[in-house]
Amino acid sequence: MLIVTGVPLFLMELSLGQYGAAGPITVWKCCPLLKGIGIGMLCVSTLVCLYYNVIIAWTFYYLGSSFQSPLPWSCEALANATICSGNITQVLGVVHSEGLHDPGPVRRPLALCLLAAWIIIFLCMLKGIRSSGKVVYVTATFPYFVLIVLIIRGATLEGSLQGVAFYLTPDWSRLANAQVWNDAASQIFYSLGIGVGGLLSMASYNKFDNNVIRDTIVITTGNCCTSFFAGFAIFSILGHMAYRKGVPVGEVADTGPGLAFVAYPEALALLPGSVFWSIMFFLMLFMLGVDTLFGNMEGITTAVLDEFPHLRGNPLQKSLFLGALCFFFYLMGLLLVTDGGIYWFTLIDSFSTSFGLIIITLFMCIGISFFYGVNQFCQDILDMIRHCPPWCGKVLIYFKACWVFCTPFLLLFILTYIFIEMYRTSLHYGDYVYPLWGKALGVCMGATCCLQILIWAIVAISKETGTLKERFQKSIRPLNSWRQNTLNSTVRAEVHVEPEQVDAPYTVTLTDMDITARTWDMGSQA
């Protein structure tokens, strides 16, 4: 999934954002028909931001609780004397909620943690990409330090090899299960940030001649290796926990929030010096959460500021917009920190990056390959990499094959499986089975994201004149400002869009001399 979908789509977003010097909406001047892809990305980012900062709020809560000795979720804690097991349901108050229809009151400690989380995000992003870029130097490097420390500590524990063996032993028969491929796709999309607009926004600030192919290979490889490396830190300590309890590792491992907020904290509580290890772990989770949220928030803010350039030029208005955006997300997130908030959290988590995200990336891949033109797109990449090593052109042959055939085919396979499973299986959290109306609400969330493609395609066609075929052909041509904004760009400025530019379908009249000339002067041709 990494090689056939993750890396090609990562390069596509990175190249598109860098070449167009625009966010996820404005960048579709290259093909106005597909502007809805950018709107859809914005919808996905909104849903992700809505629930993801709740994870940071939980991390805050656990981090603050970690300064107590013994840890509140350890067997030594007085509150756990009868159950001898810390549990996320105790923290979230799920025991007081009957389900999705019964959210109950807002839990004040979690609401305060959520407010603190949004204030930190606001302050880190206040001065734009430069300030958040400096923050990432800390938030991106500190987790590596913690992982190394946890791996060293885990290797000294009894039973750690049992956990590592469980982690590294493959069950090849599982490859015949489509769910495994769906899980792999979810992991790759989520860890690389594909399809949510953050990559397009970040890349739009790159220098025009930045080597995107090199960046893609380095980042995707580093990301995959980091995930593999982190597994040793997790499963070595889970192996020790299984050894202490006398059960198989598979019985103490968990998925989703349960791993980070139930199984692993419980395992850390068994270690000598558990308070220190717990503080380090949740501080690492906080850093990782902030990194993820930066990418999504940057996608939203860049998209809006590109569409309304006057906000970018006025620092006060920009700050007010960012503050209002963070406050809106905080108010909406209060539903997720109620007694039954975990049920709503699971619903949004299950459908926000499900079939809607796959459809958005599928249309992005098809649109760039067949409407904008895969040959033109590859030429754009070569134009950016002015001193391209010989291997760049050869690598692009592979990416071209993926964009045209392999990636869309695999995405269609996953999409088909998702729809089949969505119809056949019910959504549940623990023993709670979601009602039909709850599942329908989740489907509406995903549908809202991908339907933007159809809605804005109709809008783009309706703005043109002529027959339906002529309108369609005009709506897939790059606008004039698309080329003008990229031909002579060497360094990206803070302002992405020239508001005085008149947008019209881009056309070039060529003469016989243009066809027969050995070298093309792009500046003079324009």
| Dihedral of alpha carbons 25, 289, 432, 98, sign | negative
Contact 205, 136 (CB under 8 A): no
In a 10 Å sphere around its CB, with 0-12 CB exposed, 13-18 middle and 19+ buried, how is residue 400 labelled? middle
Written as one letter, the residue type at 356 is G
Does 431 count as an annotated binding residue? Answer: no
- Tell me how long the chain is: 526
Q: How far apart are the first and last CA of the chain?
A: 40
**Phi, psi (rounded to 5 degrees) for 432:** -85, 125
Does 288 count as an annotated binding residue? Answer: yes
Token pair for residue 204?
Answer: 């739009």
Does 524 count as an annotated binding residue? Answer: no
Alpha-helical (H) ranges within 102-211 are: 108-125, 129-155, 160-168, 178-192, 198-203
Token pair for residue 269?
Answer: 């509580």
The CA distance from 306 to 501, in Å, is 13
List Cβ<8 Å contacts ≥24 apart for 136-142.
136/291, 136/294, 138/287, 139/287, 139/288, 139/290, 139/291, 139/294, 140/287, 140/291, 142/283, 142/284, 142/287
Contact 216, 10 (CB under 8 A): yes
Instruction: HSE, CB side, 13 Å, CA atoms: give it for residue 275.
Output: 10
Does 223 count as an annotated binding residue? Answer: yes
Contact 311, 317 (CB under 8 A): yes
The annotated binding site for Na(+) is made up of 191, 223, 288, 291
The annotated binding site is made up of 191, 223, 288, 291
